[in-house]
Structures are given as structure tokens and as C-alpha cells.
Amino acid sequence: MNTLAHIFGAMAVSDLPVRAVAGAFPGAPVGSLAGAPVHEVPAALPTLSTVAAQLQYGAATGITNYAGLMIAIPLVSALFLLVAGRRVDAWGHWLSVLASWVAFGIGGGVLVEMLGRAPEARAQAVTLWQWLPGTELQVNFGLLLDPLSISFVMLVTFVGSLIHVYSVGYMEHDPDRRRFFAYLNLFVAAMLTLVLGNSYLVLFMGWEGVGLASYLLIGFWNQVHNNALAAKKAFVMNRVGDLGLLIAMMAMFARFGAVDFATVLGEPAGNSGGIPWATFIGMFLLLAACGKSAQFPLQAWLGDAMAGPTPVSALIHAATMVTAGVYLMVRSGAIYVQTPVAALAVAIIGAITLVFGAVVGCAKDDMKKVLAASTMSQIGYMMLGAGLGPVGWAFAIFHLVMHGFFKAQLFLAAGCVMHAMSDQVNMRRFGGLRRVMKITWFAFLVGWLAILGIPPFSGFFSKDKIIEAAFLPNPHYGEWYPWVFGLTALVGAGITAFYMSRLFFLIFHGSPRWTTELEGAPVHPHEANAWMTVPLLVLSVFSIAAGGVLSVGNVFVQWLDPVLSVSAASLGASGEHAAHPEPVLPEMVLLVLTLTVVVIGALLAYVLFLRREVSRAIPAAGAIVSAARNDLYQDVVNEKVVIVPVMTLARGVEVTDSRVVDGLVEATGWLTQWLGRIGSAVHTGAPRRYAAWTLAGTVAALCLVLVTRL
């Protein structure tokens, strides 16, 4: 009991410093991407009591006034393509491509203008219209443009536009290409709404929009029954997470009377009414993130989502849907610094998922499902970074951006392989494609080295910093904290190197194991057209150089600093910070260890899948590999733990409704009819019978009086 009291007592710490969402604290780095250790934090930062006054965003100026067009243009394009129908089949996809690039251009203009302002003046608000003019809850449909949101805007529109271009070639012969491009535009518009909204309610509109767009795109080829089932599975599992976001918003309204960022993130949640509000809100926000970002235990939909066209997979995994949960966690950081319990839950979920996805990726033979498992694992790293607190926030976002480049590149390269191999995805029937697909091989090579974290590729500068931050002690927990999370992240890096190397070697190296005409599926591998290969080469540039460039002078951390800046230690009564903890292992030791486990993982894959003959058939496996092939039986667990009990409850409710509720209603009707029949027997219309009944009643009454008198 004392332990529980201690835990819940730590849930709402109103004196903890929080991040300045409006960009109020320039020059206070939370870490370094190159040079200073990640544990270096500013010596003094404001507390929650001073943040509220600084969470007032400046009025939009210049091109920022037109930021709403970034959402409106792709949205209008999507609606037009859907309404116009077959009449615009010949050129509709070009309108979609143009709309996406125009959104990118506007975002670029906003970015340039933002860079021209002082760091403390970079956050600006645009109110589009008064949405809910109620007396108790007033919500304006507005946009918040700050370094965090514009970073997502540039990722979504740039990578999304390259995927649009790639899709021109990939969907060239599909009769429903126009509809596909309409859905792509809808996806981009919804994601931009999510990251640009100035309140949780506007964010929720985009949140639901990406859920709808993903359903439409995953099930795009719904003439195949399994594709339709995959879309439905993703849609339903995301509704569980959406319920978490709704409950969190209800709690915000109950506590703050508002759902806008300025109010919710600028005031201490406190512990009023005996409710630890920060923990309550933080836990349900985490549930929402688990659904949208395919984190444990709501990750089972992600592998099945590979049923959609490959450009959809690239868009979902690299630039839109699954990154939304990480954005939600980091944007809500001011809540999590008040509740060590909820922050710990975020870190635990991230750690579990990064290992879960890595283990599953080791056993899959479906090329796209391996990449899906890797996304699950890499998002787990980002969630771990977000759960580590202020020291991990910038690294989580940095890895998200870098991951967006190389994961889009890997998926699009996989699409080129499918295009060359008659839409086959079984890696055991590939091999030797390097000789006939040199551009695709190069692009995949770059993405492979980036996700492994080999210097100087981008992943080295982002993922490795999360691993390093995981080895920092947490003042709220004991010595176990850095060892558990640090070693988990380190082991995950080694497993990632193994399964991604397995993927690379099985596809491009070794002897060809292609299907033949005798097997009824002859293939003639060839390089894809320029519409598909040029985006790969563009993404290669960013996968190679973006991480290093944005690490020079801590550019990316300093860029996010006005939004994420916060102390890693709580304020004492005197207002002074506690001593900053040092990593439990020296930074150079961690760097060497990480690269060592990565090299070991890659060498193990080299020995098993390149030096040895690869079986064309799926070999028999033990219990662990069989479990990994079946997603660690997550669907079975969901069936037994959730679906069966819910269905049993539903059947019980149905029986109660039909037998008890309906039975009572029917019994009332039967009793009424029975009384009616008695009444009709008495009321015959015969005067003599009425007189007899009257006489009998009178006699009975007199007898009753006499008996009572006696």
C-alpha cells in the first residue's frame, strides 16, 4: 500500500519544468547530435507556472497566413477526382501529383519564413474559423505552425510527393488509378490536418482522416477477399486507439475546460478530486498512440496492411499514419513530465514493441511483411525515446524524420522488385537480382545501411542517440532503469541488423531462385521505369547525407529546441536543479558496443543466408521460429483475450434482451390480455346478469361488515 501511495504521489508533480510549446526557450539544448553528450541539459528552465503565459502564439504573417492551403489543395483535389469519375481517368493522376507538390511548395515557403524569425517568435497560429462557439467549450479550427509541426509538414509533403510520382509508374496499368490518387491526396490532407491542428480536437479530425484513408488504400484491391479483411482489421483495431484519444479529450475538458494545446499544455494537471489527471490523460493518449502507430498490444494490423499497393505501404510507414502516435507523445510532452508513471509506460511499450517487431522480422519470408515488422520495431525506438523524457524527445523526432527517408526508399525499392518479379513477395524465390536491377539494388543498399545505423548514413545519427539516451538513469526510478531500457535498445539494434541483412541478401545476392515456367509463374526480372527509379535516387541522397548534415552544429536539436526545451531533472524547493545524471556507460563505449552488435548481426545473416544454400521451400522450424512466423500468436491472443470474451458478453446481452427484457414486455402484454378476457366475460350487456352481480356484491359486502363487527 505504501508503494502504491508513493507511485501515485509522483503522478502529478506541478513543479516539474515543462517544454515550451510556443518556442519560448531558445538556446537551451536538450542534447547533442554530434559533440556534446546527450545528457547535457540547460541549467535553468521555467516551471509550469510560467509556461502558460508563454504558450500564446504569435499572429501569422506572410505566407504563413496561407498555410491552410496545404490542407485544402490536396483535399479539394481528392474530392474532385472522386466526383468527376471516369471522365478524368486520362489525366486525373497528374492533378493529384500537382496538388501534393504545391502543398510541399507552400510548406517550404512557411519553413523559409520561419527560419527568418528569431527562435522565440517562430510559433505562429492561424485561426481558420470558429468551429464550436459554445459557452462551456469553445474551439476554433486553427493551425499551429512551429518547428515541430513544420518538420512533419516537410516530411509528409516531400516524401508523399515522391510517392505520388512513383505511383505514376507503379499504377500505370491499373484501371482505377484515378481513384487511387484521390485516396493518396486524401491521406496527405488528413495527415497535415493532424500535425498542424492547434488543439486535440482538430488533431482528432486528422487522426480519423488518416484512419479512413488507410482503410480505403489498404483495401484498394478489395475484389480480393483477404485485402478487404486486412482493411477492416486495420480500421477496427484503430478504433480501439481512437477511443483512448476521445477519453483523453473528455478528461482534458473535465480538468481544464478546454482541449487546445495552449491551455492543456500550459497548466499543471494537478491531482484535484483525488484523480491524478496527468496520469489519466497520459495513459489514454498512449492507448491512442498504440493503435495508430501499431505498438504493442495493438500492432497486429500492420503486417496485414501490406495487402494494399506498395506505394500505400511506403506512405503509411514512412510519412503518415504510423508516425502520428510519436507526434502525439512528443506534442503532449508537457503532460508526461508531470507523470513519471505514464512516461514509464510509454518507454515500456516502446521497448516491448521494438523487440517484438525485430523478432517477427527475423522469421518472415514475405518481403513486405519483413519491412512492416521493421517499421513496428523502429517506431518502438521512437516511442522509447519519447518515454525517456525531455532528453529523448528530439532524438525520437530526428529518428522519425530519418526513418521516413530510408523506410520510404526500402518500400519503394521492394515495389520495384515486385514489379520485376510478377508481384511475388517470397524472398526465398528471389536472389541474384543485383545483376539485373542495379539502380534498385543501390537504393536498397543505401536504405539497408541507413536502418542498420552504419556511419555515415542517416540512421547512425538518429537511432544510436536513442540507444545512448536509454542508458541515462531516471531520477524517479532505481538503477534498473538504464540497464533495462539501454540493453533492450542495444539488443534490438543487433536483431535489426540480422533480419535486415537477411532481407537484403535473400533478394539481391546469392544464386537466382526464380520461379520458372514449369512452376506456372515464369519471371523476367528487369529494372523499373524512370517514374519509379528517380524517387529512389532522390531518397538515397537524404538517406546518405541528411543525418550528418542535420547533426553539424546540432542543427536539428537547436531547430526543435524552442518547442521541446525542458530540464531532465525536477526543480527542488529552492528552484535549483538536481545534479544531471551521467550515462551508466561512457559514450564511446556505447558507440563501440552498438556498432559491434550491428556487425555481428549482419555477419550472422551473411553466414546463414549468403554463404549457405538457401532453401526454396519454407523449412521446418522450432517453436520460437514458428511463433515468430505467426506474429508471436498475437491474433490468437487477441481472439482469446478480447474477441471471445466480447462475443460471449454480446451473446449474453442478446439473451438478456430477448429472454428477460422482451420476456417482461411480453408478459405484461399477456397479463393485460388475460385481464381483458376476464373483463369481457363479465361485461355481457345483459341487465339481469348485471343485477345479479350487483346483488352478489351487496350481499358479500354486508357479510364482510357483519364478520368484522362480530
Q: Output phi, psi for 455, to 5 deg.
A: -70, 145
The answer to whether residue 471 scores a pLDDT higher than 50 is yes
d(CA 688, CA 671): 29
Cβ distance 111 to 124 under 8 Å?
A: no
Rounded average pLDDT over 695-708 = 86
The answer to whether residue 578 scores a pLDDT higher than 80 is no
The pTM (predicted TM-score) of the whole model is 0.86
Nearby residues of 493 by Cβ (< 8 Å), 6 or more positions away: 453, 463, 467, 594, 597, 598, 601
d(CA 662, CA 591): 69
pLDDT band at 242 (very low <50, low <70, confident <90, very high): very high
Strand partners for 293 = none
For residue 301, give the C-alpha cell.
494490423
The answer to whether residue 34 scores a pLDDT higher than 50 is no
Q: Which stretches of 47-194 are assigned E, i.e. beta strand?
A: 58-59, 124-133, 138-145
308 to each of 304, 305, 387, 547, how far by Cα in Å? 9, 6, 31, 30
Angle at alpha carbon of residue 649, lines to 644 and 651, rounded to 5°? 95
Q: What is the mean pLDDT of the chain?
A: 86
**Neighbour tally for 2: CB within 10 Å:** 6
**How would DSSP label each residue in 529-544?**
PHHHHHHHHHHHHHHH
Order of strands across the sheet with 58-59?
58-59, 124-133, 138-145
Cβ distance 126 to 68 under 8 Å?
A: yes
- Considering only 380-384, 449-453, 506-510, 611-615, which range has the smallest mean pLDDT? 611-615
For residue 350, give the C-alpha cell.
516502446
Residue 135 confidence (pLDDT): 67
Three-class SS of residue 197?
strand
Cβ distance 303 to 373 under 8 Å?
A: yes
Which is more confidently placed, 482 or 136? 482
Looking up cell 563501440, which residue turns up?
A: 592
pLDDT band at 673 (very low <50, low <70, confident <90, very high): confident
Q: Which of 311-315, 550-554, 561-565 reaches the highest mean pLDDT?
A: 311-315
Q: Output phi, psi for 124, to 5 deg.
A: -130, 150
Residue ranges of the alpha helices (H) in 274-389? 277-292, 301-304, 310-314, 324-331, 333-336, 340-363, 367-387
Nearby residues of 414 by Cβ (< 8 Å), 6 or more positions away: 310, 367, 368, 371, 444
Identify the CA nearest to 17 among candidates 582, 579, 577.
577
Residue 681 confidence (pLDDT): 72
